[in-house]
Amino acid sequence: MPEPDDNLRKVAIAIAAHPDDIEFMMAGTLLLLNEAGWETHYLNISSGNCGSISLDSTQTEAKRLEEAQNAATILGATFHSPFSRDLEIFYDSLHLRKLASVIRLVNPTIVLTHSPQDYMEDHTNTSRLAVTAAFSRGMPNFDVSPPLKPIKNEIALYHAMPHGLMDGMRQTVKPDLLINTTSVFKLKKQALAAHQSQKEWLDISQGMNSYLESMESISRNLGKAAGSTHAEGWRRHSHLGFSSCEIDPLSKALGLTTG
């Protein structure tokens, strides 16, 4: 497999649907990239406004914004503000133009995002939006909001594991890349714990029996497959439209051996 050009920008962005999604499935990898000298960015498309049974929508947005900003600080990542709301992340031009503008602003080499198959549409739509936003990065005739000039960088996209490690039809989803996150797991857990408002909400709405325990269970299951204590899993998107040949900057950045 051809090696990525050493001149590629060491910039990565995690793009998720809701506050705490990055911490569940992507934060360990983001932390390791940060340790490897990469500039990292953090974006939840939704404000998380529906994630409470005791606060109204406006109060919930304010609370979850504060929590997400704290989590991004723990992860050492640049925070980008949400621009949508829960259950309103649609694959449409409004969302696409806003996300494409973020991609042009950040100019990343690595994009981390949701699985194309997951248990809810906010996640799957975010995955689709991230792919197209990255694909459109160099198109001068595609208007983005706010307006920014197109960029010419090569990008590699990686899809995280779905929650429950299965798709919406209960079929197991297997990663093609496992990353040992044991060394950064405590910090990942600390970042997830910053989303304090979500413990009660997830316990009641989804029966997750403590969101921290749920995340740790997923992490340990992937760790077992990786031969470690904790891990995160990824699937790499096709390079067509994103780079001139197959590149795997994530594996290279973290010193991983791939087949």
Are residues 169 and 123 in contact, defined by beta-carbon separation less than 8 angstroms? Answer: no
The Cα–Cα gap between 40 and 78 comes to 6
pLDDT tens for 133-154 read 999 999 999 999 999 999 999 9
Range of the domain at 116: 11-252
pLDDT tens for 211-226 read 888 899 999 999 999 9
Q: Is 257 within the bounds of a domain?
A: no
CATH number of the domain where residue 49 is located: 3.40.50.10320
Q: Is 136 within the bounds of a domain?
A: yes
The helix/strand count (H/E) of the chain reads as: 9, 7
pTM of the model: 0.94
Overall number of domains in the chain: 1
Q: Is 169 within the bounds of a domain?
A: yes
The Cα–Cα gap between 157 and 134 comes to 8
The dihedral built from the CA positions of residue 240, 241, 242 and 244, taken in this order, carries a sign that is: positive
- Residue 137's nearest CA partner among 148, 126, 149, 150 is 150
Q: Is 3 within the bounds of a domain?
A: no
Residue whose token pair is 């690595």: 110
pLDDT tens for 195-213 read 988 766 666 666 655 788 8
